[in-house]
Every structure is written in structure tokens, then in C-alpha cells.
Amino acid sequence: MMPYHGKNARRLAAVAVFCVLLLTGSFTRLSALDTVLLSWNPADKTATLAIGSKDGVRAGDRFNIFAPEKVVLLPFSGGKKVLEIHEPIAVLTVKEVTLSTAAGPVDLVKDEYASLLRKGCIARRIETKQEVNRPPSLTRLVFSAPEIYPGSVVKVSVEYDDPNGDRPVFRWSAPGAYLRFPTTHFPWNVVSIPLDYSKSALTVTVTADDRRENGSSTSSFEKPVVRKPFDIYLNSQYQEVRSFHERFAGDRFNVDDVAALPDGGIV
């Protein structure tokens, strides 16, 4: 076999270097998101990049910064930048964005890297995985009273969990009963059960919506409605008794008795 000479030898050497870097994982491929530092202010540790909102940069984006001398040009690439070796020397967090520039504070990986930062350093946006939105889960509905009756007015609180930490909006329904709020930004409501409520259980349906894609879920909860014999005397000054304490069940009483109940007669 003829030995490799000249151009072939250089190409073989370049391929060998590429393989070593590939195996050691000590390089980063360049991408279309590469840019350069336009300026570096060591006094306040801020820098400006030659990339802006027209390139999709937003406040909060982060960029790794590499020293120019750490760029590898492979011989067979025609002088094209193909690899970068070593770790970044700093990280820039974007605070201000214009159409074609982005600026923000710089955190050095090591203090001694400050001397390497200058105009022309390569910067690359740190890609983050797009968060997948998951809907809230409704686990339990808690009633403020252990038992509910026709005429009860109770507070209902829904327990929920949002995997993404969103604060959902809640939509409520309770067929045959009355809700104080059809929609809330808090996980509770007040439900009034009419005196003529005829169903054996109260059904409360709650929808939690975090107002993002695939961000809503609905659950229904039931609670038995207790029926006990009672006889209520209504005088002309009091036309409706919403609820009363269990110890008054079966007794005759007037509006003054109702006013004397705990919590004003609200269970």
C-alpha cells in the first residue's frame, strides 16, 4: 500500500482529530444561532451581541460565549468553522433587545477568563426544551359543612394541582342549585340549595382552565342531600329560611329564632 502524502495526509490527520473530539465530547457544533460580541464592558460586566429580535431573540434568552482562538477550522472544510473545543468562557443573559442587537449582564465561568472576553468572541444561544403544557388535575371538592340540606348555603373549595405551576380560572355549575359566581380566579365558591330541592345528591361540576393549549380539565363531585322532617313557621317579615342548625329540626320557631342561629343560619 502506498503511504499517504501531502493533501491526503493532512485530510487523514483532520479526520483523526475529528474522531478524537467526537469520542471525547469536547466540542460543540456551530449552528445558525451563532453570533459575535459587538462590545464588552468589563466595568459593569455587560456585553452586546450582533443578534436581535429579527432573529427570534427575546429577553431572558441565554448565550454561551466562546473565545475566538478556541474555534477549529478543519482543512477539508474550505476554511469553514466546523467545531469548537473546550467549555464556554462566559454566559450572557439577555435583558435588552433591539431589532439587530441583544445586550445583558455576563457571568464568567472563571474570573481569569475576563481577559479573553473582547469584541469578536463567538456566542451561541443556549437551547432549552419547550415546556409541554399539561392541564390542571382536580382531586377533591371540600364542603364547609359535614351535611347539607335543602336550604343550606355552603362554601365549596376545590383542591387541584397544575403540573406547570399555572394559576387556572375555574368555571362552576350546580344543576338545581344556585352559585354565587359562575367563574372565579380562586378555587372556591358559594352554593345555595333551594328549599324545594328534590334530588338526593348535589352535583357540582368544576372546570379548571390555565388558558394555554390543552390546559383545561373538568370533574364532577357529588354530596348527598340530607332530608329531615321539619316544620317551619314563616311570618310576614321572613319569607325564606335558607338553612338552620340540626338541633332546631322539627321545632317551630319564628324569625328571631333563625337570626339567633350560629353564623346567621348559614350552615
Break the chain into its structural domains and give their ranges: 6-125, 137-227
Condensed to tens digits (0 to 9), the pLDDT of residues 166-198 reads 889 999 999 999 999 999 999 999 999 998 898
SS3 27: strand
Other beta carbons within 10 angstroms of residue 201's beta carbon come to 10
- Whole-number Cα distances in Å, 21 to 81, 86, 221: 15, 10, 60
Which pLDDT value is given to residue 177? 96
Which pLDDT value is given to residue 95? 93
Report d(CA 48, CA 40) in Å as an integer.
Answer: 7
Which pLDDT value is given to residue 130? 64
* Residues 47 and 41 sit within 8 Å (Cβ to Cβ): yes
> Which bin fits 24, alpha (ψ -120 to 50), beta or left (φ > 0)?
alpha
Compute the residue count for the chain.
Answer: 267
Report d(CA 196, CA 217) in Å as an integer.
Answer: 31
Which pLDDT value is given to residue 2? 47
Helices (H), the chain: 6-24, 255-259
Extract the C-alpha cell encoding 135: 392541564
* pTM for this entry: 0.43
Report d(CA 13, CA 16) in Å as an integer.
Answer: 5
> Which bin fits 200, alpha (ψ -120 to 50), beta or left (φ > 0)?
alpha
Which pLDDT value is given to residue 23? 44
Extract the C-alpha cell encoding 257: 329564632
Q: CATH topology for 137-227? A: Immunoglobulin-like (2.60.40)
Same fold, 6-125 and 137-227: no
The residue ranges of the chain whose pLDDT is under 70 are: 1-33, 68-86, 129-131, 228-267
Of 133, 155, 56, nearest to 102 (Cα)? 56
Of 256, 225, 229, 261, nearest to 243 (Cα)? 261
**CATH number of 6-125, picked from 1.10.600.10, 2.60.40.10, 1.20.1600.10, 2.40.10.410:** 2.40.10.410
Of 227, 223, 230, 224, nearest to 247 (Cα)? 230
* Residues 55 and 65 sit within 8 Å (Cβ to Cβ): no
Which pLDDT value is given to residue 32? 43
Which pLDDT value is given to residue 68? 65
